[in-house]
Structure 1
Amino acid sequence: AGPSAASAAPVPAELVTAAQKTVPGVVSVMVGGGAASSASGSGFAIDNQQHIVTNDHILAKGGGGEVTVELSDGRRYAAEVVGREPGSDLAVLRVPAVAGLAPLPLAKPRSTKVGEPVLAVGSPLGLAGTVTAGIVSALDRQVRLGTTRRSAVQTDASINPGNSGGPLVNARGEVVGVNTAIATIDGNGSIGIGFAIPIEQVQQTADTIIGKGG
């Protein structure tokens, strides 16, 4: 057997298609900057009104500074903060209609299965459009999300700083959760245990925020 025998197994074609569909709808989120505190993460369009879901902790780390969103094609827009929900670590932004973001499809409630392949999409360490693959490791994992303990989707797809707020999608390209936290050893990077806010919680919270904030 030649060197190729040790190569990784082929990536399933459906994951390649899911990545192609998802990346254009994912944005980089940058908060603050300059002398003030700054933070960055990811987000994605959830409807046709240019509402973007992201993590509240990104805005909190940014110290309430101005929010800028960068699209996959490099265009940048100032974003309005429609509303925040620290308790669930979710926030909703909105960019001008000219951005033309297409919303990502959402998975049906309670349809996610342990063992199914998933992709984490976002901007880890500022590297926009990064895709990592893994599986759903567990469901209903009780972890601290925002200010409270909530059920989360556990995945071994690599999640690193900057992935927060980005989507975790299944092989059909449907969002099953919002990447929000990782477990680490001595604070050092991804060890294959990441957590995402389940899409049911995301949809409910986003609808509430948008309903209040317009």
Structure 2
Amino acid sequence: MTVPTGLGEPRGPWFVSPVTDPWAAAAAATDGPSGPDGPGRWRRRLLAASAVLALSVTSGGLAGGVVAGWENGPARLAAGLPSPSASASAGVPADLVAAAAQVLPGVVSVQISRGAMVSSGSGFAIDDHHHIITNDHILDGDSLPGTPLNGHQVSVVAPDGRRIVAEVVGRDPGSDIAVLRVSPSAGLRPLVLAQTGSTQVGEAVLAVGSPLGLSGTVTAGIVSALDREVRLGNGGRRTAVQTDASINPGNSGGPLVNADGEVIGVNTAIATLEGAGSIGIGFAIPIQRAEQAADEIIRRGG
């Protein structure tokens, strides 16, 4: 039986909210202690709601249990791509439907098998040499280029459902980017990468990946902000693309694409309230930085 690996637990990187404490001044001006409805109570509530970033990785076994429990719930709605008419009624631009159709053939679910345990994330094809970009934190362990991950099998699930063994070309923990390679038989369609400086705040985007193990899931939103400072990977603070497209555990490594089907970022982390899942604040590594890291990895590893 597949059991959780713990990869889905919030384990950073941390995001320091810029929200200030509006009750601090009131508390300082109060002589007596805070009562049950006083500023102390609200300060505790504010602290309890502090936002942190959680790496969007999940255990395949855990995802199976969650999906089974939601058989008639919202997970079922997220399992497929809506029709153009449904998209229009929901306010989703029709060009996003075409973008999804263009992107899905190049997106895979990345799975790490550790005996009975399976952890998963997402990835996407970037060239005709069958290289796949994903997040380094999905692999969560040491590896040598061209070898299985510490003896654990790394595989991808192609859009047609086939499971294909993948080679770890190399990793860059500092940028949280890793590169895999699969055989030509995978038949993946390389995704087009957006040009530098072309991404704009407010433009429509799609997050594509395998949240909770649901391969080929597409969610829509907009670019909420550019150059948002967060701590991604094991390096210092870096800028990221912020989006309100729904990103959940398992989306890590998947593409964030614009309405033209061009990749603008690599979905990497989400902000959550304590005890909750996605709250509509996600972060993606800008594609130019991810591409530079991937090119260096491929140059070193083949």
Interval containing the TM-score (normalised by the shorter chain): over 0.9
Q: Say if 1:14 and 1:80 are closer, same or farther in 2 by CA, change over 3 A.
A: same
8 Å CA contact 2:92, 2:220 repeated in 1: no
Scaled by the length of structure 1, what TM-score is found?
Answer: 0.93
In structure 1, the partner of 2:132 is 52
Q: Tell me the amino acid that sits aligned with residue 33 of structure 1.
A: R
Q: Could you give the per-residue CA deviations for residues 91-118 of structure 1, whole angstroms, max 9, x where no partner exists?
A: 0000011212110000001210000000
Contact 1:38/1:61 (8 A) holds in 2: no
Contact residue 125 and residue 162 of structure 1 kept, 8 A: yes
The Cα shift of 1:187 comes to: 4.2
Q: After superposition, where does 1:162-177 map in structure 2 within 5 Å?
A: 162-177=250-265
The Cα RMSD (Å) is 1.6
Match of 1:39 among 101, 119, 126: 119
Q: Aligned residue pairs: how many?
A: 207
Structure 2 matches for 1:33-112, cutoff 5 A? Answer: 33-35=114-116, 38-60=118-140, 64=150, 65-112=152-199
Question: In structure 2, the residue corresponding to 1:88 is in which secondary structure?
Answer: coil
Counterpart check, 1:21 vs 2:109: no
Q: Which amino acid aligns with 2:242?
A: Q
Q: CA deviation at 1:11?
A: 2.1
**Length-normalised TM-score, structure 2:** 0.66
* Aligned with 1:130 (options 191, 195, 217): 217
Helix, strand or coil at the partner of 1:87: coil
Structure with larger Rg: 2
Residue 10 of structure 1, CA deviation: 3.4
2:246 is paired with a residue of what secondary structure?
A: coil
d(CA) in 1 for partners of 2:231, 2:141: 17
Q: Percent identity?
A: 70
Structure with the bigger percentage of strand: 1
Q: Could you give the per-residue CA deviations for residues 66-91 of structure 1, whole angstroms, max 9, x where no partner exists?
A: 10100010111110000000001110
How far off is 1:207 after superposition? Answer: 0.4
The aligned counterpart of 1:3 is none
Structure 2 equivalent of residue 115 of structure 1:
202
* SS in structure 2 at match of 1:22: helix
What is the SS of the residue equivalent to 1:73? coil
